[in-house]
Chain A
Amino acid sequence: MTRAHCSCALTLAVAVPLAAVAAEERYVFDPVHSQPMCEVRHMGFSTQHVSFTKISGRVTLDREAHKGTLDATVDTTSVRSYSEKLDAHLKGEDFFDVAKYPTMTFKSSDLVFEGDRVVAGNGELTLLGVTKPVSFKVSNFVCGEQPFNKRPMCGAEVTATIMRSEWGMKYGIPKAASDEVRIYLPIEAFRE
């Protein structure tokens, strides 16, 4: 009786390799430490920064198969610049039109690995209702334990450059603010 049970278990282990299922790791963004920033040239004289303080996101990683996904949603009403007056303008129709588009999303199902580290990716940004491809670099990808609560987590820096006019955000180009926007997203995400 015992031997039959053993062979049954063995068959199952071969048919449904536990290693493949265990290889997909799921992570949830820590929103406080994953606030995206963007940077534009101001009147050709200096570089100015703007951030978004509300984001939610998930990452899946299969480091053996070298595959992964990234899915982030940013609350556009959480835009915050260096000036309250500018914040009001950014939320309006000239820029993020938050009344009509309260969120923007970034999704990728094509993360690029070097060994078991993510180094880049290709995805799509949906902003002002327009979806366009964006390629991004990932630096300083590292996984480990949070030093205080010991929870497993990963961290990285994601960077990309876009031309905002491609999404229809044309106001102020080029006199007030550049078309080119450099995006910077620190990510800290905890394993589910």
Chain B
Amino acid sequence: MIRPFLLSLALVFPLTAVAAEESYVIEPVHSQPMFEVQHMGGFSNQHGSFGKLSGKIILDRAAKKGSVDVTIDTSSVRSFSERLDVHLKGEDYFDVAKYPTMTFKSSNLVFDGDRLVGVNGELTMLGVTKPVSLKVVNFVCGDNPFNKKPMCGAEATATIMRSEWGMKTGIPKSSSDEVRLTLPVEAYRE
């Protein structure tokens, strides 16, 4: 009596579909997002980063689906100058008192075989939500060579126009509207 019942269950709920979804927690130390702008009309490119973030990535490589959910602490912004850091945290830029976090969420992942090559999502910054597409390169999964924990790593890049989120200070004389994002990611399987 039990065996046919279990068999029916296996047909209705194929175990392989459930096992294909992998859940990863972003390791924040090695996943600090960086940004780059042109300084004073193009004399040089200057960089900044965010030191605090948290996030989760879900991958279903068989079904070629997944999701990304990242929250960045805006007060963790750090540039090449402490004086600039203060300015960046203020109303002219990230307004961290009012917007202590910014988020990136996606449920539209792009795969090439079982390699992640793109993520289409939305960035919410200064309370404004707009679409951003990330290009993903060097996607690789394996064991951490020291502690053997299963993990994945990748590099994501994107270019945004910060004015679309309302961050208009300094454009273009001081720093460019165009901001190039470089996002290293390391994440451990849950």
Residues in A lying within 8 Å of B, measured CB to CB: 32-35, 37, 42-49, 51, 53, 82-83, 140, 142, 144, 146-148, 153-157, 175-176, 186-188
Report 11 cross-chain contacts, Cβ distance below 8 Å, ordered by A residue: A33-B46, A42-B184, A44-B140, A44-B145, A45-B152, A46-B138, A47-B138, A146-B43, A153-B43, A155-B40, A188-B44
Q: How many pairs, one residue from A and one from B, have CB atoms within 8 Å of each other in the complex? A: 93
B41 touches A175 (CB 8 A): no
Q: Which residue from A35, A146, A176 sits with its C-beta under 8 Å from B40? A: A146
A32 touches B41 (CB 8 A): no
Question: Considering residues B39, B44, B144, B185, which has the most beta carbons from chain A within 10 angstroms of its beta carbon?
Answer: B44
A46 touches B44 (CB 8 A): no
Closest approach, in angstroms, between the C-beta of B144 and any C-beta of chain A? Answer: 7
Assuming the contacts A46-B186, A48-B30, asked whether A147 and B44 have C-beta atoms less than 8 A apart, the reply is: no
CA distance A43 to B188 in the complex (A): 14
Residues in B lying within 8 Å of A, measured CB to CB: 29-32, 34, 39-47, 49, 51, 80-81, 138, 140, 142, 144-146, 151-155, 173-174, 184-186
CA distance A180 to B186 in the complex (A): 20
CA distance A99 to B32 in the complex (A): 29
Q: Which residue of B lies closest to A53 (CB)?
A: B80
CA distance A175 to B49 in the complex (A): 25
A47 touches B184 (CB 8 A): yes
A147 touches B80 (CB 8 A): no
A187 touches B44 (CB 8 A): yes
Complex contacts, B186 vs chain A, CB 8 Å? 42, 45-46
A-B interface, 5 closest residue pairs, ranked by CB to CB distance from nearest: A45-B153, A155-B43, A186-B44, A46-B184, A46-B153
Q: Which residue of B lies closest to A45 (CB)?
A: B153
Q: Which residue from A34, A37, A140, A153 sits with its C-beta under 8 Å from B47? A: A37
B44 touches A156 (CB 8 A): yes
CA distance A15 to B29 in the complex (A): 64
Assuming the contacts A44-B140, A83-B29, A175-B145, asked whether A51 and B184 have C-beta atoms less than 8 A apart, the reply is: no
A43 touches B80 (CB 8 A): no
Complex contacts, A156 vs chain B, CB 8 Å? 44
A147 touches B173 (CB 8 A): yes
CA distance A131 to B48 in the complex (A): 31
A48 touches B184 (CB 8 A): yes
A147 touches B41 (CB 8 A): yes
Q: Which residue of B lies closest to A42 (CB)?
A: B30
A51 touches B173 (CB 8 A): no
A43 touches B32 (CB 8 A): no
Closest approach, in angstroms, between the C-beta of A13 and any C-beta of chain B? Answer: 36
